Structure 1
Amino acid sequence: MIEIINAWPVFLLIFIRVTSFFVTVPLFSYRNIPAVHKVGFSFFLSYIMFFTIEHPIIEIDEKFFLLLLKEILVGLLLGLIAFMVMSAVQIAGGFIDFQMGFAIANVIDPQTGAQSPIMGQYLYTFAMLLMLSIDAHHLLLDGIFYSYKFIPLNELSISLGSEKLAALIAKTFGTMFIIAFQMSIPIVGCLFLVDLALGITARTVPQLNIFVVGLPVKILASFFILLAVLPAFMFLFEKLFESMILSMRSLLQIFGGL
């Protein structure tokens, strides 16, 4: 009975970190997954991790409530940095939509409940399917599992004011925009040439209403270009997943003082 009472604080800390992680991490935090399933999955995953990781004896005192806040913060930030990297797909879709003429027509993403560009939502669906097909979502679970090696349960302080953390955030934003640019540049570049051709046509054939003809031509050309470069997107998606896992590991190393 005494062992069970001593185990409850440790299990609660594990459960809080895992649940906070599932609030912000891609795929597991989406709104179309019922909250009961999220809590249940967090509970059973925490139950397995409780018997797997090494944990000290923790008592419920004033320090315990500070540990709860630390676990919430670690889980949220770990999932948030993964979500930041995956946002590169939405940014690339915004670049493409602006050039295609779809920038005014945003859609509601049923997964996050926020407005997203049409092409961004289309590419994001492909990215999520690829993540499931190559088992990259298991690496997300590995990230929360191995986080206890970098940030023990009884460790109260984390390096939030470190210069390395600011450098990591800047590097993550840079990587996100670079990958978004690499995804969008084939379509955006080709549409620029289409705009150039339409401009030349408007000067050489003044009788042609270029505003009426130009938009359907750009949309049709965009679909053909997207169909041609879609296989190359899969390699960029794999690079995106790799950057996501590396960013999570770097964040854990900074929090662990490494």
Structure 2
Amino acid sequence: MVDIFPYFPSMLLVFVRVTSFFLMMPIFSYRTIPNAAKIGIGFFLAWIMIYTIDAPVLEIDGTYFLLIIKEALVGIFVGFIAYLMLSAIQIAGGFIDFQMGFAIANVIDPQTGAQSPLTGQYLYMISLLFLLSVNGHHLLMDGIFYSYQFIPIDQPWIPFGDEGLAEFVVKAFNSMFIIAFQMAIPVVGSLFLVDVALGIIARTVPQLNVFVVGLPVKIGVSFIVLFIVMSVLMVVVSRLFETMLETMRGLLSLMGGL
């Protein structure tokens, strides 16, 4: 067994990066998970990882505190990118809710404590279960483990002033909205055709109160279309997971100066 005491400062840095990653990443950042459990998982992960990565022997000095800030920023940024890509599911649900008339009825998101759309929260929960079923949480942990190949522990700086890093984050934000639109377009497009049909009916049959009939018709059509395209949505979600991992890898490469 390797003596852990000389590597204890390095293990604390690993612990800071892992726990900062837990603050933002999907699943583990849920407020329903006790903080003691998050800290315990992060500590044991750091203990395991310190034996597998090429950890240097560090001294606790002024540079060490800069390394602590750097590790926290790395964990938060990587977790934020992972959460940003999965937010496309809730945004797609927001598009669908706005068209079907559920925009005023929101639910509390247990992860953030903020209000989120009904359909978005429903699709998000299914996507998280799908992520767990394909061991996506293991891939997320692999991402934070292999981050040390891009950003070593003793690297004291991150090139935040690099325009490539800002451009990459903006492109990731843009791709998230594109994926959300692609997920929502089957239901939103169908409801647009329903609106056109209701508009034609309102002009041809003035005696029919379209405002009373239109809302239940739109809700029923949206549920039917959601039931039909659910399998296609899961295919898009699986590709979203791939995009999320590729985005995490690209961000780590830029932050590591590679």
Report the TM range for the smaller structure's normalisation.
Answer: over 0.9
2:235 alignment counterpart: 235
Confirm or deny: 8 A CA contact 2:19 2:42 kept in the other structure. Answer: yes
CA shift digits 1:42-77 (9 cap, x unpaired): 111111101111111100111111110111111100
Give the distance between the partners of 2:185 and 2:7, measured in 1 at CA. 54
Structure 1: which amino acid aligns with 2:58? Answer: I
Structure 2: which amino acid aligns with 1:88? Answer: A
Q: Aligned to 1:107, what secondary structure does the other structure show? A: strand
Identical aligned residues as a percent: 61
Structure 2: which amino acid aligns with 1:52? Answer: T
Give the distance between the partners of 1:250 and 1:122, measured in 2 at CA. 30
Offset of 1:4 from its aligned partner? 4.6
1:141 aligns with 2:135: no
In the superposition, the TM-score normalised over structure 1's length comes to: 0.97
Give the distance between the partners of 1:219 and 1:9, measured in 2 at CA. 57
2:31 alignment counterpart: 31
Alignment CA distance shift 1:211-1:64 (3 Å): same
Moved runs in structure 1, 4+ residues, more than 6 A? none
2:98 alignment counterpart: 98
1:14 alignment counterpart: 14
1:51 aligns with 2:51: yes
1:70 alignment counterpart: 70
Q: Aligned to 1:28, what secondary structure does the other structure show? A: coil
2:174 alignment counterpart: 174
1:213 alignment counterpart: 213
Offset of 1:21 from its aligned partner? 0.5
Give the distance between the partners of 1:134 and 1:8, measured in 2 at CA. 34
Q: Aligned to 1:51, what secondary structure does the other structure show? A: helix
Confirm or deny: 8 A CA contact 2:7 2:56 kept in the other structure. Answer: no
Give the distance between the partners of 2:33 and 2:112, measured in 1 at CA. 11
Q: Aligned to 2:52, what secondary structure does the other structure show? A: coil
Give the distance between the partners of 2:4 and 2:125, measured in 1 at CA. 44
Which residues of 2 match residues 85-124 of structure 1 at below 5 A?
A: 85-124=85-124
Cα RMSD between the aligned structures?
A: 0.9
In the superposition, the TM-score normalised over structure 2's length comes to: 0.97
Q: Which runs of 5+ in 1 are unaligned?
A: none
